[in-house]
């Protein structure tokens, strides 16, 4: 089958290749891929940023989001059948969406939302799971709370705005001039144009900040939180909880502690909290999220679509910051599926 394989870590390490079709284990489903989507995590894995924690062994197929049709099921699989349209974020060490077929553990798979095409569904799993796990599992967002979501026009931001509003929060977001109307249409109550305004001088008393920018932006975010408030970053620095989540050796926890020491010290001085977030595959949560898409509470935001043979170009498009809003999809078939 055709696939895009990471042969070596680094920017030039990905190439198109013919590889064997994956074999399935008892709990796996084999999915014929209709579409996949690009995530910043693809670049991070390609560059080896997590290679001390996620022990991928090149060559392997990249791709963290997938939608397609089940073509085979393992002997222990239940609730999924050949012919089902599904979507998934395969678990770490079993990624591989940039291929014609992928074998996925049944616990990571969910039926595609009926209201979405396969092309649209491919844009959903990673960012929707991240939004759910941040807002529901970690922060326990409740009606009336105030949430700041940075980069509101991005894949995660556009999803998190919608979910936070569904949960009853008052939502502020940062974005550029070109996408102010978009984020307002998604439900943002307060829109800060970061090209003209400093959010840290405009906002205060927030319960939660969701940061996907990092650096100075994260440090300023701590100042808009109310006492006891929480800043969660998806770009780091990683904290000891991340090493624990991955079951890494204890010395990695010490390394993560050192990497995040500065921001955790700043947070403590302000009476607030900081956590790093790394999402996990979860098919049951995708089923819950699918119901929200089908009810109209959530909808995907798609920037552009590339044909499968231009997967490397699609990755470069995202990496170079050319995305205007939402996700970039790589499609095996025309997007009128």
| pLDDT, tens only, 157-168 | 999 999 999 999
- Sequence-ordered list of residues with C-beta below 8 angstroms from that of 321, at least 6 positions apart, any chain: none
Enumerate the β-bridge partners of residue 73: 29
335, 36 Cβ separation under 8 angstroms = no
- For the chain, give the mean pLDDT: 95
Return all residues near 182 (Cβ < 8 A) that are at least 6 apart. Answer: 153, 158, 175, 301, 325
Task: Tell me: do 195 and 218 sit in the same domain.
Answer: yes
Sheet architecture: strand order including 170-175: 190-193, 170-175, 146-149, 206-211, 225-233, 273-276
Ramachandran angles phi, psi of 228, nearest 5°: 85, -5
- Higher per-residue confidence, 337 vs 232: 232
Same domain, residue pair 118 and 161: no
pTM assigned to the model = 0.96
Q: Is 250 domain-assigned?
A: yes
Same domain assignment for residues 107 and 164: no
User: Are both 114 and 139 inside the same structural domain?
Assistant: no
Between these two residues, 4 and 335, which has the higher pLDDT value?
A: 4
Q: Are 45 and 62 in contact (CB under 8 A)?
A: yes
Retrieve residue 188's tokens: 């943002």
Q: Are residues 181 and 319 in the same domain?
A: no
Among residues of the chain, what percentage have pLDDT more than 90? 89
Do 267 and 305 belong to one domain?
no
The token duo for 278 is: 């790394």
- Per-residue model confidence (pLDDT) at position 59: 95
Q: What is the pLDDT of residue 135?
A: 98
Residues 91 and 229 in one domain: no
**Residue at 293 is within a domain:** no
| Residue keyed to tokens 């090209």 | 195
Number of domains in the chain: 2
CB 105 within 8 A of CB 141: no
Same domain (yes/no): 80, 158: no
- Reply yes or no on whether the pLDDT at 216 is more than 90: yes
**292-325 pLDDT, tens per residue?**
999 999 999 999 999 999 999 999 999 998 999 9
Least confident of 88-102, 205-219, 236-250: 236-250
Same domain? For 268 and 211 the reply is yes
Residue 189: its H or E element: none
Domain that holds residue 246: 126-276
Does residue 286 sit within a domain?
Answer: no
CATH number of the structural domain spanning residue 207:
3.40.50.720
- Which residues fall within 8 angstroms of residue 5, CB to CB, at 6 or more apart? 14, 15, 16, 17, 19, 59, 60, 61, 62
Between the CA of residue 27 and those of 86, 109, 112, 136, what are the distances in Å? 16, 11, 19, 28
Q: Is the model's pLDDT at 2 over the cut of 70?
A: yes
Say yes or no to pLDDT of 235 above 50.
Answer: yes
User: Does 256 map to a domain?
Assistant: yes
64 pLDDT higher than 50? yes
The pLDDT tens digits of the residues spanning 260-275 come to: 999 999 999 999 999 9
Handedness of CA 142, 217, 45, 84 (dihedral sign): positive
CA-wise closest residue to 157 among 137, 172, 177: 172
Please indicate, yes or no, whether residues 149 and 187 belong to a single structural domain of this protein: yes
151 domain-assigned: yes
**Residue 250: pLDDT band with limits 50, 70, 90:** confident
Return d(Cα 37, Cα 329) in angstroms, integer: 4
Is the residue at 291 inside a domain? no
Q: Are residues 136 and 257 in the same domain?
A: yes
Determine the pLDDT at residue 334.
Answer: 57
Joined tokens for residue 316: 């470069």
Q: Count of CB atoms within 10 A of residue 12's CB?
A: 9
Averaged over 120-145, what is the pLDDT? 98
**Nearest-angstrom CA–CA distance, 143 and 164:** 9
Asked whether the beta carbons of 44 and 124 are under 8 A apart, the reply is no
Assess if residue 130 is contained within a domain.
yes
Q: What is the pLDDT of residue 331?
A: 97
Q: Are residues 195 and 84 located together in one domain of the fold? A: no
- Does residue 288 lie in a domain region? no
């Amino acid at each position: 089958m055709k696939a895009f394989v990471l042969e070596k870590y680094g920017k030039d390490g990905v190439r198109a290749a013919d590889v064997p079709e994956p074999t399935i284990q008892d709990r796996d489903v084999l999915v014929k891929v209709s579409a996949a989507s690009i995530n910043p995590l693809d670049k991070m894995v390609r560059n080896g940023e997590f290679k001390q924690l996620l022990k991928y062994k090149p060559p392997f197929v990249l791709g963290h989001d997938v939608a397609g049709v089940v073509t085979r099921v393992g002997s222990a699989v239940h609730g999924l059948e050949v012919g089902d349209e599904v979507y998934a974020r395969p678990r770490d060490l079993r990624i591989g969406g940039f291929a014609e077929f992928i074998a996925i553990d049944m616990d990571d798979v969910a039926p595609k939302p009926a209201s979405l095409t396969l092309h649209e569904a491919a844009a959903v799993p990673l960012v929707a799971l991240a939004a759910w796990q941040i807002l529901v599992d970690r922060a326990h967002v409740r009606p009336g709370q105030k949430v700041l979501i940075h980069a509101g026009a991005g894949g995660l931001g556009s999803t998190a705005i919608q979910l936070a509003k569904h949960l009853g929060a008052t939502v502020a977001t940062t974005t550029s001039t070109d996408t102010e109307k978009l984020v307002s249409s998604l439900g943002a109550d307060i829109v800060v144009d970061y090209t003209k305004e400093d959010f840290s001088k405009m906002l205060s008393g927030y319960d939660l900040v969701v940061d996907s920018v990092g650096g100075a932006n994260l440090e300023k975010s701590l100042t808009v939180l109310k006492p006891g408030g929480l800043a969660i970053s998806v770009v780091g620095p990683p904290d000891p909880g991340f090493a624990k989540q991955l079951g890494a050796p204890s010395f990695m926890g010490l390394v993560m502690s050192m990497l995040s020491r500065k921001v955790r010290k700043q947070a403590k001085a302000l009476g607030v909290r900081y956590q790093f977030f790394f999402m996990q595959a979860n098919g049951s949560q995708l089923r819950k999220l699918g119901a929200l898409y089908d009810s109209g509470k959530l909808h995907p935001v798609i920037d552009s679509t590339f044909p499968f043979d231009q997967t490397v170009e699609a990755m470069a498009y995202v990496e170079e910051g050319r995305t205007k809003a939402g996700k970039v999809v790589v499609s095996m078939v025309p997007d009128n599926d």
